[in-house]
Amino acid sequence: MNYIDTPTRCSGLGWSAVFNAKHAGSLQFSLDGRVVMESFGAAIGNLDESMANLVKFRPRWDSKFGWLTLAADSILPFGSEPLIKRSYEQFGRYFSVTTDFMIKKRYPMGRLALETLRFPGDWSRVSVVDFPEPGRPLSPARQLDLAADGVEFPQIPLVLLLEAADGQRLEVGCGWDLWRWAQAAGLGAKSSFKLVRDDSGITFTRELLRWEDGDHEMRDRTFRFNWYFAWDPIGAGAPFPAADGVLAHEGRRLQASSDAVACHTLSYANWPAEAMAGPDACHVASASLASLKSWVRRRLEACGGQTLCLDGLLPSACANASHLNRGPAALLHWDYHYLFTFWEWANRLLGVSGGALRLKLDPASPMAEMPSAATLRGVAVPDKGEIESL
């Protein structure tokens, strides 16, 4: 079916996303029939995405979980015709969004802006987790008082959390590539991130780069940014079991204190040195992921279709570029998204035998009680995905 010519609605358990026929940056996201977020597309210079031509729009439901993946390309038909590529990837009640700005040849671009987000309705509480510093724990969430003129941030908040009077919460955050969100100064530009409240909702503008000379030229470069949004589950969900054992490194291998139990607390003692982020572990590092995956495979071989539970996980921000296989330079990254990819991988593997993996964050982390963390704590439930043209 050709989804390019008409608006398209993708819907699942309690949620729906309506994409504009013109470009995939225009999104209306609803929970239980209530619109909670609208996206108005990106901008390059004086051209915004509403002027683009949509040349690719491919929504697809995963065959196992019924989760959505979507790839879309839009061309701005002016000058060297820059391309905006976007992908959406669902993990339960968590969506990862990646936007690529592909600048060809020489192109005058005084600014680069990611999607402006609009949150309609009455949000009774707005909180943020500030952008992190390398080697230091994430700061606790702090509540904002949105005055009439709004709040402007020198750096984008790592996480934005909105809560409605009825308790519904929506979370929007940076992805794993934090160095890209903080690269303005290195490119001779400035950035601006602002929250403004009015009578009908809250607007979040995300201007990534702005040059004082409006005719700044960029040539042959791709800018990529990853972000996510997540929401609370329907109902409280199954309680997370208490841990009966400890999972810790013995040499290069994670070893459980007892193979007779399925619920463990993860210990970071003796974690591989090359996978550390200051005092904390970095789950982006291949040594971290390899040891976790090896433990899951061994449990599958030994015990078959068990539901494994692992608590005490602590996401961290790290600047060690070797974790990204990118050489000696410092590149600030956040490993939270990698916990979701590990969770998805493990549930696919264990699910073949009727098993599952549930992850619980260390309560010391400001992410522990976020809506996104509830997805990790739960079992990977298949969605009832539908795609329809409107």
Instruction: Give the list of residues 6+ apart from residue 325 with CB closer than 8 angstroms, or none.
Output: none
CATH number of 8-231: 2.70.98.10
Pick from 117, 81, 135, 161: which is nearest to 370 by CA?
A: 161
DSSP, res 50: G
The predicted-structure confidence for 126-184, as pLDDT tens digits, reads as follows 999 999 987 788 999 999 988 767 899 989 999 999 999 989 999 999 999 999 999 99
Q: How far apart are CA 225 and CA 10, in angstroms?
A: 23
- Write the DSSP assignment of 202-254 as a string of letters: EEEEEEEEE-SSTT-EEEEEEEEEEEEEEEPPSS--PPPPPP-EEEEEETTEE
The predicted-structure confidence for 222-276, as pLDDT tens digits, reads as follows 999 999 999 997 666 678 999 989 999 988 789 888 877 889 999 998 898 888 8
pTM of the entire predicted model: 0.94
Largest CA distance in the chain: 66
Burial 70-79 (b: 16+ CB within 10 A, else e): bbbbbbbeeb
What is residue 235's predicted lDDT score, i.e. its pLDDT? 66
Q: What angle do CA 381, 57, 25 make, to 5 degrees?
A: 85
β-pairing verdict for 245-250 and 190-198: unpaired
Locate 31 and state its tokens: 């929970």
User: For the CA atoms of the chain, what is the radius of gyration?
Assistant: 21
Q: What are the boundaries of each domain within the chain?
A: 8-231, 245-387
